[in-house]
């Protein structure tokens, strides 16, 4: 897997292949054409006269469309071909590839163009070891169609490939014996339908010509509309504007419509998380409220619909719990994986309430708060009834599915992520610190909703009493006075898991921290053990398990940093927040393109260039959303009654930033900021802001 | 001996269900197929009240499956979402109601409360 991988994506579908546009299944990455967690093409290889092609250029037109310009033959420093091939692919509900063969010579030329086609119908859960399926391939030369079908009981998945130009179809592909006139061109449109039979009456068969054009145009319009509706960023710093634009486009690309649902919600991201994850979706919504608030009601309603309703060990489900993961592949259908509806997440439920409250503060959409009273109340009750197994007020998790459940049911979900300074894993159930922060915040916010919208002041008082009690106990049990930070977790018998992590930043974001302790946390977060220069590490250097390439043991996540920076500003550490925002943006700008969800935790002064991790997803909703949240944090955007408060603290060297048409309960309003260097030159004060209602 | 779907519907599905959102309204028809015959069950969800009848009337959501599939769901031994993905069960109409229907059927009989799994004395703090 040394080659660059090229993808197009649309919703939960994506096609990933090499720089020539060929797709050949490989155990290290989900190569091929995927939709609804199923690989519909595992082999898609183009040859001309038996030769593979090499790439001259590539144009990634939009996230769903790419054009490759290719010539036959092995790579050499000098290419003098009489023939070239343009491969123009586009993905919407189906996959389309237009092949154009150009004859550059003065004589007519005959070519044999061949597309090798195969499908293994692997589930996204089994890319490393695809199961032994025996799909049947049926060639229909009359219709120029190849159908490949996999059946297991009534479960049927089918790939149907058709060509507009006449083709010799066989079970392994299509051959075109063509003659191209001098300086002429030959074309065919290959269309691949991905058919999920019977699942929710959803028919993914797209009509070939008219529909495709229509969908493609609709997708272009839709992308333009999405970008138009978001605030406009005008920045002296050009790479910042480019990073903003890219983040918005990523968020547009990563929306999909779940089965049984009418609106679009964010998927986790490419390539491993192209489905609805409760956490990723909630976090993305929290990050993007000042920019793309329309993601939130769709997400909250979908998660309410899928809210846990019963006790179920295999799916780690309890009544009131908010979804962890939702998949549609064969592994989910046959319970090989618990992902048909998996609830192994302890943070999604409090975050559901936090998002509902935060959304109302930004938009004033009281109707949604009333509409979602029942699920929000179930979520709040879950925290006490099921989330707190010892009844001591702490939210804890323990997978009941010990076969293939998630070991750590927080955003630090790798099996070794929750570990003390010496590398010791705590027993279950685990009470991690940021869960207590979220639970505290959810109760405070739930109390506001109960009082202002649900007409239930008694419930509000109970929630506030629980929150106060939790805060007091937490500040007693989790605080490590010798070290000056909160423990990562406590064990079942109350012993602190003493590691220093970025989770203390989430505690600031939640507001559970006693103000006199925030100084020490800010110093840790911006100290050399946690801050790399590109952002804050998940897990601090100087502890035994620290590893700069460990996803949750030292690597740096933009989404994590967005919450850390927001937390620092909440407690008044404005310069520290600006430093972190500047670090993450410098990383995103240096790498260019979509920001990866995680980079290695090496010090910036050591590597100079951000070190990428091969397993990191890109684009990822919460990483792209994280950049937006960091921007909002720099500008100090905050809703206050019917006004937008703007309190900018812009990193040095950024010059002026204008965010125009920020949507909210005020209608639309603008926010301005300037870094202090510029500001000293201009006015000698600290940034500038506006405060006005439209 | 576990309960059949028909028994479950007749005894446990009708009545008040506080676990349903007060905003949910709609009708669901369950078509249970067995030996060329179809048995129709008709559920009216009106906020948190559920009425159960035998009727073949039009409904917002029609769910069709072999009777045996419904029986397994009623026994908590088949996940409704998985059954749909497997195509063992077909839904037509407002599929959002299917998620609500899920709450009218029990979970697996051997499921445990997190408190019982935690393996530590329950120690509620007074509040």
Structural domains of chain A, with CATH? 6-219 (2.70.98), 230-635 (1.50.10.10), 636-694 (no CATH)
For the CA atoms of A50, A54, A59, A62, the dihedral, rounded to the nearest 10 degrees, stands at 60
On whether any CB of chain A is under 8 Å from the CB of B85, the answer is: yes
Which among A75, A102, A98 has a CA at the least distance from the CA of A88? Answer: A98
Q: Are A342 and A324 in contact (CB under 8 A)?
A: yes
Q: Which residues pair with B31 in a beta bridge?
A: B40, B64
Residue among B22, B84, B87 minimizing CB distance to A156: B87
Residue among A261, A313, A319 minimizing CB distance to B112: A313
**Min Cα–Cα distance to chain B from A126, Å:** 18
Average pLDDT of the residues in A208-215: 47
Predicted pLDDT at B123: 64
- Do the chains contact at B19 and A328, CB–CB below 8 Å? no
Backbone angles phi, psi at B38, to 5 degrees: -125, 125
- Do the chains contact at B118 and A465, CB–CB below 8 Å? no
* Closest residue of chain A to B113, computed from CA coordinates: A311
Q: What is the CATH code of the structural domain delimited by B5-104?
A: 3.30.1050.10
For chain A, the straight-line distance linking the first and the last C-alpha, in angstroms and rounded, comes to 53
Helix (H, G, I), strand (E, B) or coil at A481: coil
Q: Give the mutation candidate from B114, B115, B116, B119 for the A interface (greatest A CB count, under 10 A).
A: B114
What percentage of chain A reaches a pLDDT higher than 90? 87
Residue A288 corresponds to which tokens in the numbers above?
Answer: 């993007």
ipTM score of complex: 0.95
Residues 57-76 of B with CB under 8 A from A: 76
What DSSP element (H or E) covers A110?
strand A109-118
Q: How confident is the model at residue B119 (pLDDT cuts 50, 70, 90)?
A: confident
Query: Across the A/B interface, how many CB contacts are shorter than 8 Å?
Result: 133
Predicted pLDDT at A213: 54
Predicted pLDDT at A514: 98
Task: Report long-range pairs for B33-37 (Cβ below 8 Å, ≥24 apart).
Answer: B33/B64, B33/B65, B33/B66, B33/B67, B34/B66, B34/B67, B34/B68
- Do the chains contact at B111 and A311, CB–CB below 8 Å? yes
User: Residue A207 pLDDT > 70, yes or no?
Assistant: no
Which among A186, A199, A202 has a CA at the least distance from the CA of A84? Answer: A186
Which residues of chain A lie closer than 8 angstroms to B64, CB-CB?
none
Predicted pLDDT at A686: 41
Q: Are A40 and A121 in contact (CB under 8 A)?
A: yes
Q: How confident is the model at residue A76 (pLDDT cuts 50, 70, 90)?
A: low
On whether any CB of chain A is under 8 Å from the CB of B91, the answer is: yes
- Do the chains contact at B111 and A312, CB–CB below 8 Å? yes
- Rounded to whole angstroms, what are the CA distances from B13 to A35, A309, B6? 36, 14, 10
- Do the chains contact at A340 and B79, CB–CB below 8 Å? yes
Residue-wise pLDDT tens digits, A106-119 = 999 999 999 999 99
**Min Cα–Cα distance to chain B from A398, Å:** 7
Which residues of chain B lie closer than 8 angstroms to A393, CB-CB?
125
For chain A, give the mean pLDDT. 93
Q: What residue has token string 């025996």?
A: A134
Cα(A631)–Cα(A657) distance, integer angstroms: 10
Average pLDDT of the residues in A76-92: 83
Q: How confident is the model at residue A196 (pLDDT cuts 50, 70, 90)?
A: confident
- Report yes or no on whether pTM surpasses 0.90: yes
* Closest residue of chain A to B105, computed from CA coordinates: A310
Burial class (CB in 10 A: 0-12, 13-18, 19+), B109: exposed
Q: Domain locations in chain B? A: 5-104
Average pLDDT of the residues in A588-598: 97
Helix (H, G, I), strand (E, B) or coil at B47: coil
Residue among A328, A375, A390 minimizing CB distance to B21: A375
User: Residue A80 pLDDT > 80, yes or no?
Assistant: no
Cα(B69)–Cα(A496) distance, integer angstroms: 48
Q: Are A649 and A638 in contact (CB under 8 A)?
A: no
- Do the chains contact at B99 and A340, CB–CB below 8 Å? no
Which residues of chain A lie closer than 8 angstroms to B68, CB-CB?
none
């Amino acid at each position: 897997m040394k080659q660059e991988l090229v993808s197009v994506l649309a919703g939960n579908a994506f096609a990933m292949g090499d720089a020539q546009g060929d797709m050949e299944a490989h155990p290290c990455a989900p190569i091929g054409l995927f939709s609804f967690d199923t690989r519909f093409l595992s082999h898609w290889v183009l040859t001309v006269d038996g030769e593979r092609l090499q790439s001259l250029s590539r144009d990634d037109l939009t996230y769903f469309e790419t054009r490759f310009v290719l010539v036959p033959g092995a790579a050499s420093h000098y290419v003098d071909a009489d023939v070239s091939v343009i491969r123009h692919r586009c993905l919407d509900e189906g996959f389309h590839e237009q092949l154009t063969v150009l004859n550059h010579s003065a004589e007519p030329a005959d070519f044999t163009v061949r597309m090798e086609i195969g499908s293994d119908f692997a589930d996204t859960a089994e890319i490393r070891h695809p199961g032994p399926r025996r799909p049947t391939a049926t060639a229909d030369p009359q219709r120029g169609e190849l159908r490949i079908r996999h059946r297991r009981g009534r479960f049927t998945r089918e790939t149907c490939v058709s060509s507009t130009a006449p083709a010799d179809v066989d079970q392994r592909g299509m051959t075109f014996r063509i003659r191209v006139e001098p300086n002429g061109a030959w074309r065919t449109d290959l269309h691949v339908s991905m058919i999920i039979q019977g699942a929710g009456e959803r028919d993914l068969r797209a009509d070939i010509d008219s529909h495709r054009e229509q969908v493609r145009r609709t997708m272009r319009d839709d992308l333009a509309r999405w970008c138009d509706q978001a605030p406009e960023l005008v920045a002296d710093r050009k790479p910042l504007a480019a990073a903003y634009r890219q983040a918005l486009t990523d968020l547009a690309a990563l929306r999909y419509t779940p089965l049984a649902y009418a609106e679009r919600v964010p998927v986790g991201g490419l390539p491993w998380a192209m489905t609805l994850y409760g956490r990723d979706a909630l976090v993305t919504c929290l990050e993007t409220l000042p920019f793309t608030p329309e993601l939130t009601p769709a997400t909250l309603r979908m998660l309410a619909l899928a809210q846990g309703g019963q006790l179920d060990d295999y799916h780690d489900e309890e009544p009131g719990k908010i979804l962890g993961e939702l998949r549609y592949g064969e592994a989910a259908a046959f319970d090989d994986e618990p992902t048909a509806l998996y609830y192994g997440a302890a943070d999604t439920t409090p975050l559901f309430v936090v998002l509902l409250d935060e959304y109302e503060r930004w938009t004033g959409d009281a109707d949604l708060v009333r509409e979602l009273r029942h699920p929000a109340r179930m979520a709040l009750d879950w925290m006490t009834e099921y989330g707190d197994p010892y009844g001591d007020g702490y939210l804890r998790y323990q997978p009941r599915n010990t076969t293939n459940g998630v070991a750590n049911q927080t955003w630090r979900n790798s099996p070794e992520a929750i570990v003390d300074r010496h590398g010791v894993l705590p027993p279950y159930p685990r009470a991690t610190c940021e869960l207590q922060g979220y639970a505290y915040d959810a109760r405070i916010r739930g109390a506001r909703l109960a009082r202002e919208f649900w007409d239930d002041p008694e419930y509000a008082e109970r929630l506030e009493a629980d929150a106060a009690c939790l805060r007091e106990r937490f500040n007693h049990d989790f605080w490590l006075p010798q070290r000056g930070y909160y423990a990562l977790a406590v064990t079942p018998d109350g012993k602190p898991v003493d590691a220093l992590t970025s989770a203390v930043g989430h505690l600031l974001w939640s507001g559970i921290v006693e103000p006199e302790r925030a100084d020490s946390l800010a110093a840790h977060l911006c100290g050399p053990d946690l801050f790399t220069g590109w952002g804050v590490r998940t897990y601090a250097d100087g502890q035994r398990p620290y590893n700069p390439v460990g996803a949750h043991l030292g690597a740096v996540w933009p989404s994590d940093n967005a919450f850390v920076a927001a937390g620092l500003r909440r407690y008044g550490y404005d310069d520290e927040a600006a430093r972190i925002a500047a670090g993450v943006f410098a990383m995103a700008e240096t790498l260019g393109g979509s920001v990866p969800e995680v980079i290695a935790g090496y010090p910036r002064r050591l590597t100079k260039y951000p070190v990428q991790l091969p397993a990191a997803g890109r684009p990822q909703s919460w990483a792209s959303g994280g950049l937006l949240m960091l921007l909002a944090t720099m500008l100090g955007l905050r809703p206050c009654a019917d006004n937008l408060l703007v309190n900018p603290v812009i990193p040095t060297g950024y010059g002026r930033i204008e965010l125009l048409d920020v949507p909210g309960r005020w209608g639309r309003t603008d926010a301005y900021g300037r870094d202090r260097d510029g500001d000293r030159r201009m006015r000698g004060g600290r940034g500038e802001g506006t405060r006005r209602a439209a | 001996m576990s309960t059949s779907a028909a028994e479950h519907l007749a005894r446990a599905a009708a009545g008040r269900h506080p676990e349903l959102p007060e905003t949910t309204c709609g009708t669901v028809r369950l078509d249970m197929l067995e030996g060329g015959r179809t048995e129709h069950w008709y559920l009216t969800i009106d906020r948190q009240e559920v009425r159960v009848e035998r009727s073949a009337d039009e409904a917002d959501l029609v769910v069709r499956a072999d009777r045996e599939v419904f029986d397994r769901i009623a026994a908590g031994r088949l996940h409704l979402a998985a059954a749909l993905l497997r195509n063992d069960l077909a839904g037509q109409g407002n599929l959002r109601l299917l998620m609500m229907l899920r709450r009218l059927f029990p979970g697996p009989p051997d499921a445990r409360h997190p408190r019982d799994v935690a393996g530590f004395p329950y120690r509620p703090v007074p509040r």
